[in-house]
């Protein structure tokens, strides 16, 4: 009986090991499995969204992980995540890397590691045209955003009298704005611009000049995964050097895109 219990316990342990890759061996496991599993957004153009024609998830974030998988010589598997689920999914071993509009913060860096910054934006507000000139116009209002985001934290800090309503993701918050249930939606300007560009009634809304934070994006890796982090960072720097990173930027944010950005972005070592 005792032997049986021990066998069951040992089996259970093996199962756990298989489920939770040890930090530090992602590079080896990815190569061995022949697949890189990336946690991405699937409803946030132009970062990660489902292409209407191909039904595939595409976007700026996707192009970066695609290039990394190519360099590793492995297949890419995309798993949709939300702002709140991306870190738990990574630590539970369900994904190998986060490429999901994720801001690098010192608080998050206590739990996961970040690559060099591969995109930079800042937090603004999407509102009905003409309703907001300054931060004070947002005071005491209902503001929609996403759970588990920096947007949620920054909004609560910048507007202590506002009611911050957190949705699963930003499209739900935008729907609440369209239905008049919130006064504004707040998150990174590039996400707001991406949602607005696709909205049928876009002429009714605008993005404020008011900007409450800097949001540098990093790819998220399990803590202490030094070999994998080195390879990812090297890939990013090589992509910058070769012009591949600029081509990805121009594809999604260049002058001909639905969400043009005046300034480009250059990837450098942190």
Q: Which is nearer to ligand GLU, 72 or 249 (CB)?
A: 249
Of 188, 222, 228, 236, the residue at the interface with ligand GLU (CB under 6 A) is 188
Q: Within the chain, what is the greatest distance between any pair of CA atoms?
A: 75
* Interface with ligand GLU, residue 146, by CB under 6 A: yes
Of 115, 151, 186, 190, the residue at the interface with ligand GLU (CB under 6 A) is 151
Helix (H) or strand (E) segment spanning residue 97: strand 97-99
Neighbour tally for 196: CB within 10 Å: 19
Q: Which is nearer to ligand GLU, 74 or 191 (CB)?
A: 191
Q: Which is nearer to ligand GLU, 151 or 259 (CB)?
A: 151
For helices 60-72 and 226-242, the axis angle rounded to 10 degrees is 110
Q: Which is nearer to ligand GLU, 169 or 225 (CB)?
A: 169
Q: Which is nearer to ligand GLU, 150 or 208 (CB)?
A: 150
* Closest separation in Å from C-beta 29 to ligand GLU: 26
* Closest separation in Å from C-beta 164 to ligand GLU: 13
Q: Which is nearer to ligand GLU, 26 or 82 (CB)?
A: 82
* Interface with ligand GLU, residue 62, by CB under 6 A: no
* Closest separation in Å from C-beta 187 to ligand GLU: 5
User: Which of these ranges, 55-63, 187-195, 202-210, 262-270, lies near ligand GLU under the rule CB under 6 A?
Assistant: 187-195
Total site size for ligand GLU, rule CB under 6 A: 13
SS3 category, 30: helix
Decide: 21 and 63 in contact? Cβ < 8 Å: no
Q: Which is nearer to ligand GLU, 108 or 222 (CB)?
A: 108
* Closest separation in Å from C-beta 183 to ligand GLU: 19
CA 84 – CA 240 distance, rounded (Å):
30
* Interface with ligand GLU, residue 259, by CB under 6 A: no
Q: Which is nearer to ligand GLU, 104 or 222 (CB)?
A: 104
CA 246 – CA 238 distance, rounded (Å):
11
Site for ligand GLU in 78-137 (CB under 6 A): 83, 100-103
CA 87 – CA 104 distance, rounded (Å):
12
Query: What is the C-alpha end-to-end distance of the chain, expressed in Å?
Result: 56
Residues paired with 58 in a beta bridge: 49
Residues paired with 77 in a beta bridge: 37
Site for ligand GLU in 203-242 (CB under 6 A): 215
Q: CB within 8 A of 145, min separation 6: which ones?
A: 151, 152, 155, 164, 165, 166, 167, 170, 173, 185, 186, 187
CA dihedral 191, 194, 199, 205 (to 10 degrees): 60
* Interface with ligand GLU, residue 187, by CB under 6 A: yes
User: Interface residues with ligand GLU (CB under 6 A)?
Assistant: 83, 100-103, 146, 149-151, 187-188, 191, 215
């Amino acid at each position: 009986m005792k032997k049986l219990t021990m066998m069951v316990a040992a089996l259970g342990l093996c199962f756990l090991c298989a489920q939770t890759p040890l930090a530090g061996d992602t590079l080896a496991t990815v190569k061995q499995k022949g697949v890189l599993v990336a946690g991405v957004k699937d409803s946030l153009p132009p970062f990660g969204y489902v292409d209407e024609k191909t039904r595939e998830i595409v976007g700026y974030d996707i192009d970066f992980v695609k290039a990394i998988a190519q360099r590793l010589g492995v297949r890419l598997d995309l798993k949709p995540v939300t702002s709140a689920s991306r870190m738990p999914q990574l630590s539970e071993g369900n994904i190998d890397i986060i490429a999901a509009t994720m801001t690098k913060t010192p608080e998050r860096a206590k739990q996961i590691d970040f690559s060099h910054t591969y995109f930079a934006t800042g937090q603004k507000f999407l509102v009905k045209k003409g309703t907001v000139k300054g931060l004070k116009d947002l005071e005491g209002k209902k503001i929609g955003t996403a759970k588990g985001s920096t947007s949620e934290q920054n909004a609560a800090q910048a507007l202590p009298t506002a009611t911050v309503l957190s949705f699963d993701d930003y499209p739900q918050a935008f729907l609440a704005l369209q239905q008049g249930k919130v006064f504004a939606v707040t998150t990174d300007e590039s996400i707001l611009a991406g949602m607005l560009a696709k909205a049928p009634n876009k002429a009714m809304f605008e993005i404020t000049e008011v900007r409450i934070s800097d949001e540098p994006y990093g790819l998220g890796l399990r803590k202490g995964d030094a070999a994998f982090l080195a390879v990812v960072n090297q890939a990013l720097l090589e992509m910058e050097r070769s012009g591949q990173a600029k081509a990805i930027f121009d594809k999604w944010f260049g002058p001909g895109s639905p969400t043009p950005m005046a300034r480009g972005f250059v990837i450098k070592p942190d």
